[in-house]
Amino acid sequence: MTIPLTGAASLFVRLGHLANLLYDINNLQLNTIPPQFVEIIGDYTSSDQVLLDSINSQMVQGQNANQGLAGFVQQMSQNVLLRMVYLDTGMNLSLAPALNELIRQMRASNNTVLGYTIGGSVSSANVVNGNGVLVFDTHNASGYVQDLTYAEIIRVSCTQDSTSGASLAGNERFQAVGQSAASGVLNQDYPAGSGCNQRLSAINATANASQGNLLTNSDFETFVANTPASWTIDIGTAGTQVLKETSPVYSGLSSLGIVGDASTLTTISQTLTLSNLTAYTFNLFCRISATPAAGVLRVTLVDENNAVTTDAAGNSNSVSLTLSGVSTSSWQSLTGTFRTPYILPTSLKLQIKLTTALSTGKTLYIDHLALGTATYLYAAGPSIAVFSGSNPLFVPDFFTLTTTNNHTSTNKSFQVFTARTLGGLSNGVLLPSATSGNTISDALIS
């Protein structure tokens, strides 16, 4: 048996009617009551404003008067889900397992609600001392898009630097603060900001398996006969395709050089110990000796058979860079976020590979690589990671992360409604979704 999702007396028909009621409640609180009070206030001149002494508090009371009805909508929605799961499975589940059962059945039957397009940008305009990098990603640890990412501005500020201790150079402390949250998830001012307040530390590329960096010798300072220590050359030859380079370097005294010959798919890797269902973010700096006619670099998370891994949602843990677009005069950052699957393979490796051979005589330089665990800003939101650069970050440096979401408060949305009423906002568990071709229409909210 399965939970009936659409059709007469189905789950989403019932939830749709409740969602429409909550929409009307919020619309009354936000768009009907305040304008009426404004009209009343306009009837009085300054000489008789005394008659309006309590009007603001009364307006707030009027807006809040329907909170009991909103709470009924939430409780009724939960009861509907619990009852329909019970009728299908025969199990009296609590809310979180019941929601997970619904999600499991939706995935098994390829049913989706409407999802949203999430984006964002990072500004380093106020990083005036150091030259670190902020990386963000819009997927949860399983690899599904965080549809309920808030559209807001988040400031990621350096709060403690190496002036407090030399050990903090490259491992500076940060605080990420979002815009103020709504007064309640059922209230008329939802969605506002995330209200996030997360602390994290910069991931230090010069540290070996410490200070947030899960790699060893990822700054390529140690070589043994042109082989970078702690790395394995899987394809290519030390001294021919793989070299220790002392110029140019991004930081320290040496960098990794990969020399092109138009045929060798040079590959190096390092074995890692990682956890399942976890997001890991990397950053490296690269440049090239001269613009090549060909060459593609790939950074990926591979298993013991060198097969590219995927996250639980089926997304490839791989980032590629066409080398003809890499600068010949300055270092540029390459970043990405990988998410480990539910069941880990026997082993995992970070692999750096040429998937298209580099043109003969051209050298790709790589330096200051780091891989660390990403920090989620809130349960249903994006992850971030801060990486050290060649110059330390200092207070008051800060990054500005602007996140976008094409959902608006005027949209009637099953993804939004179920998150507000069934706990998705607090635990980050969202319904399967698609930005087009979704099988469960928001038109059922009526």
Sequence ranges of the domains in the chain: 11-115+410-444, 119-406
Give the domain 119-406 fold.
Answer: Jelly Rolls (2.60.120)
Task: Kindly report the length of the chain.
Answer: 446
DSSP helix/strand/coil, 82: helix
Residue pLDDT tens, the chain, 446 long: 799 999 999 999 999 999 999 998 888 776 666 566 566 666 666 666 666 566 666 656 665 666 788 899 999 999 999 999 999 999 999 999 999 999 999 999 999 999 999 999 999 999 999 999 999 999 999 999 999 999 999 999 999 999 887 778 999 999 999 999 998 899 888 889 999 999 999 999 999 999 999 999 999 999 999 999 999 999 999 999 999 999 999 999 999 999 999 999 999 999 999 999 999 999 999 999 999 999 999 999 999 999 999 999 999 999 999 999 999 999 999 999 999 999 999 999 999 999 999 999 999 999 999 999 999 999 999 999 999 999 999 999 999 999 999 987 667 999 999 999 999 888 889 999 999 999 999 999 99
Rounded Cα–Cα distance for residues 186 and 421 (Å): 8
Cis peptide bond upstream of 396, omega within 30: yes
Q: What is the 3-state secondary structure (H, E, C) of 186-237?
A: CCCCCCCECCCEEEEECECCCCCCCCCCCCCCCCCCCEECCEECCCEEEECC
Q: Among 252, 228, 238, which Cα is nearest to 331's? A: 252
